[in-house]
């Protein structure tokens, strides 16, 4: 199931926004006395297609690997308490770039056990973190967390509880340089370090350990 999902080179949201802008620019160009006034809208449509670009990736066939869910740079690798599953874990944080790829991908293959629109214990109005619990066929628990600070960065999720997801499968997107976290079991082997650049669906950030 690795890599299963929408394989367009531009996210569907990008096509939607760009199409609206192009329609307005065509109307403006048709009715305006000076057609060149629509030029900024043409440039805006091109910019939107660039921002919502969604390149294909060759997902490695590594069953116990945890791959990066986003393009960006590793900011933290540390032992931490997983607030979603109430366990000791290793937290690996990836800071996405403002101009980078917005697509998020599943770090591992398995079943979506639960989704959260806020961190457990937070008040109902605090929805700055979006969590996805993935359980592998070997019963390893991996939690993907998408963080955002404003409505423009609010994540979109393409998967639902109970569904099966492939390693590296597109599972959503988040705009404008948000932070993504992955909680893996405490005995996992870490394959990255702070400051390292990673690509979604390609680079291995951790390996699940089975004795």
Give the CATH number for residue 135.
2.70.70.10
3-class secondary-structure state, position 87: strand
Could you give the strand order of the β-sheet that contains 170-173, starting from the edge strand earlier in sequence? 103-105, 170-173, 156-157
Maximum separation of any 2 CA atoms in the chain, in Å:
74
Do 76 and 164 lie in a common domain?
yes
- 139: exposed, middle or buried (C-beta count within 10 Å: 0-12, 13-18, 19+)? exposed
Asked if the structure places residue 181 within a domain, the reply is: yes
The arithmetic mean of pLDDT across residues 178-202, rounded, is 95
Most confident of 39-53, 91-105, 153-167: 91-105
**40 and 91: one domain?**
no
**Do residues 133 and 165 share a domain?**
yes
Residues 122 and 175 in one domain: yes
Same domain? 172 vs 117? yes
Q: Tens digit of pLDDT for each residue in 44-78?
A: 888 888 888 888 888 888 889 999 999 999 999 99
Same domain for 121 and 91? yes
Position 2 pLDDT exceeds 60: no
Examine residue 191 and state whether it is found in any structural domain, yes or no. yes
Judge if 27 and 114 occupy the same domain.
no
Average pLDDT over residues 120-130: 60
The answer as to whether 90 is a domain residue is yes
User: Is 4 part of any domain?
Assistant: no
Max mean pLDDT range (64-68, 119-123, 149-153, 155-159): 64-68
Distance CA 40, CA 156 (A): 28
- Neighbouring-strand partners of residue 111: 135, 164
Structure confidence at residue 175 (pLDDT): 79
Once rounded to an integer, what is the mean pLDDT over residues 39-43? 85
Q: Is 7 inside a domain boundary? A: no
For the chain, the domain total comes to: 2
> Residue 95: its pLDDT value, please?
94
Same domain? For 114 and 39 the reply is: no
Strand spans (E) along 83-185: 87-95, 103-105, 110-116, 129-135, 141-147, 156-157, 164-165, 170-173, 179-185
Confidence check: pLDDT of 1 > 50: no
Residue 147: count other Cβ atoms within 10 Å of its Cβ.
Answer: 18
Q: Is the same domain home to 110 and 178?
A: yes
Which residues constitute the domain of residue 18? Answer: 12-51
Pairwise pLDDT comparison (199 vs 28), residue with the higher score: 199
Q: 65-69, 120-124, 181-185, 196-200: which range is least confident on average?
A: 120-124
- Residues 173 and 75 reside in one and the same domain: yes
Q: Residues 102, 201: one domain?
A: yes
Look at residue 4 in the predicted model and tell me its pLDDT: 40
- In this structure, is residue 6 part of a structural domain? no
Contact (CB, 8 A) for 43 and 24: no
Residue 19 included in any domain: yes
Domain identity same for 149 and 47: no
Q: Whole-number mean pLDDT of the chain?
A: 85
Quote the tokens at residue 85: 């599953």
User: Does 112 fall in a domain?
Assistant: yes
């Amino acid at each position: 199931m690795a890599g299963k999902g929408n394989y367009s080179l531009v996210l569907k949201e990008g096509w939607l926004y760009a199409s609206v802008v192009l329609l307005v620019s065509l109307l403006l160009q048709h009715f305006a006395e000076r057609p060149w006034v629509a030029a900024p809208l043409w440039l805006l449509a091109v910019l939107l297609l660039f921002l919502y670009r969604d390149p294909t990736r060759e997902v490695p066939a590594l069953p116990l690997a945890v791959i990066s869910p986003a393009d960006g740079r590793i900011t933290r690798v540390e032992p931490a308490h997983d607030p979603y599953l109430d366990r000791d874990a290793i937290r690996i944080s990836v800071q996405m770039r403002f101009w980078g790829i917005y697509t998020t991908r599943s770090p591992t293959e398995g079943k979506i056990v639960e989704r959260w629109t806020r961190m457990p214990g937070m008040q109902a109005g605090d929805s700055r973190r979006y969590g996805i619990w993935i359980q592998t066929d070997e019963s390893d628990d991996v939690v993907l967390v998408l963080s955002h600070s404003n409505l423009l960065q609010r994540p979109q999720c393409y998967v639902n509880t109970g569904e099966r997801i492939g390693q590296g499968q597109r599972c959503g997107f988040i705009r404008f340089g948000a932070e993504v976290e992955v909680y893996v079991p405490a005995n996992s082997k870490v394959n990255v370090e702070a400051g390292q650049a990673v690509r979604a669906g390609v680079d291995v950030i951790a390996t699940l350990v089975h004795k």
